[in-house]
Structure 1
Amino acid sequence: MKYLIIGLGNIGPEYADTRHNIGFMVADELAKQSHSSFFNMRLAYYTEFSYKGRSLFVIKPTTYMNLSGKAVNYWMQELKIPIENVLVIVDDLALPFGTVRLKPKGSPAGHNGLKSIEASLGTAAYARLRFGIGDNFPKGRQVDYVLSGFDEDEQKELPALIDRSVEFIHSFVTAGTELTMTRLNK
């Protein structure tokens, strides 16, 4: 069984460790726990490894958030991975910080990375791991908020939340979406 795991974010040091780059951070931890390294390949940083008999292909698109779909579509075709074996890791303003949830499909809810993926794939029927970043920003300051770093209290909680996200990914590839949602969505 082959799976494509996509961590969403923006390349460049100015975006490192920002809320919008939590997808990259989770993908980095997933690779680190599997003693795997990313390589700069076509449209993405790419790595692959196996986990409990499954082949995991992990990408961090280098297209910037607004064109994530281009990388996702390319790697799905290149690796011949069906949409039911695709998981996108994304920051989510609608969930409070500290909440991690798996969803089998859904709307982009204003997220430009998800909009791009939906436009490229022609469907919103792909699983996404939603990492809550909260919505603690003044009206009209959403962009500044998502492109800012986590505050001091959040930084203390981040390692455990990223580990929890990796647990979701491992469960997704071994037990499937429904069972993972039942077991881990709280």
Structure 2
Amino acid sequence: MKYLIAGLGNIGPEYAFTRHNVGFMVLDRLAAEHDFKFSFEKLAYVAEWKHKGRQIYFIKPTTYMNLSGKAIRYYMDQYKVSTENTLTIVDELQLPYGTLRIKPKGSHGGHNGLKNIEELLATSDYPRLRFGIGNNFPRGRQVDYVLKAFSNEEMSELPVFLDRAGDMVLSFCTLGIQQTMNNYNQ
């Protein structure tokens, strides 16, 4: 069984702890916890890890958020991973901060990264783990909000949410999406 886990974000130190980079943060936390390393490859930082008989490929696309689908499509083809075994971790404005939801499919909801993935996969039927970042911003300031660093209060709570998201990723790979939804969706 092979799985591809794509944590979405933007490369560069100026984006490191922004809300838009929560997908990168989940994968970095998993890598630190389970001692695997990312290396720079074509279109993404890539890591491989075996867990409970599953081969898991992790990618952090270097295409920037709006072209995330390019890296995901490339690595799905490269590693021959099916759409249902590919999980995308993405920030979600429509969920309160720290709320986590895993779904087998859905709309892009205006998220440009998901919109690009949907275009390049030619379907919206792909699993995604939505990480709530809240929507506490003035009208018309969405871009500023997602590209802004988490507040100090949010940062103090973030490790708990990152760990839970990591647990959901591993559950997805071992128990499947339905059981993971049953066990983790709040």
TM-score, structure 1 as length reference: 0.99
Q: What residue is the counterpart of 1:49 in the other structure?
A: 49
* Secondary structure of residue in 1 paired with 2:14: coil
Distance 2:23 2:135 in 1: 17
Distance 1:31 1:5 in 2: 12
Distance 1:2 1:33 in 2: 21
Deviation per CA, 1:99-138: give whole Å up to 9, x if none. 0110110001011110110001101111100000000000
Counterpart residue identity of residue 170, structure 1 = L
Q: CA deviation at 1:98?
A: 1.5
Distance 2:21 2:76 in 1: 21
Q: CA deviation at 1:56?
A: 0.6
Q: Which runs of 5+ in 1 are unaligned?
A: none
Number of residue pairs the alignment of both structures matches: 186
Identity over aligned pairs, percent:
59
Distance 2:31 2:53 in 1: 16
Distance 1:175 1:94 in 2: 27
Pairwise CA RMSD? 0.6
Does structure 1 residue 67 correspond to structure 2 residue 74? no
Q: What residue is the counterpart of 1:109 in the other structure?
A: 109
Distance 1:140 1:30 in 2: 34
Q: What residue is the counterpart of 2:90 in the other structure?
A: 90
Does structure 1 residue 146 correspond to structure 2 residue 146? yes
Distance 1:153 1:67 in 2: 31
Distance 1:178 1:151 in 2: 33
Q: Which runs of 5+ in 2 are unaligned?
A: none
Q: CA deviation at 1:15?
A: 0.6
Distance 1:40 1:143 in 2: 27
Q: What residue is the counterpart of 1:33 in the other structure?
A: 33
Q: Runs ≥4 in structure 1, deviation > 2 angstroms?
A: none
* Secondary structure of residue in 2 paired with 1:137: coil
Deviation per CA, 1:139-168: give whole Å up to 9, x if none. 000000000011111111100000000010
Distance 1:17 1:54 in 2: 30
Counterpart residue identity of residue 39, structure 1 = S
Q: What residue is the counterpart of 2:135 in the other structure?
A: 135
Counterpart residue identity of residue 51, structure 2 = Y
Q: What residue is the counterpart of 1:169 in the other structure?
A: 169
Distance 1:30 1:52 in 2: 15
Distance 1:68 1:175 in 2: 26
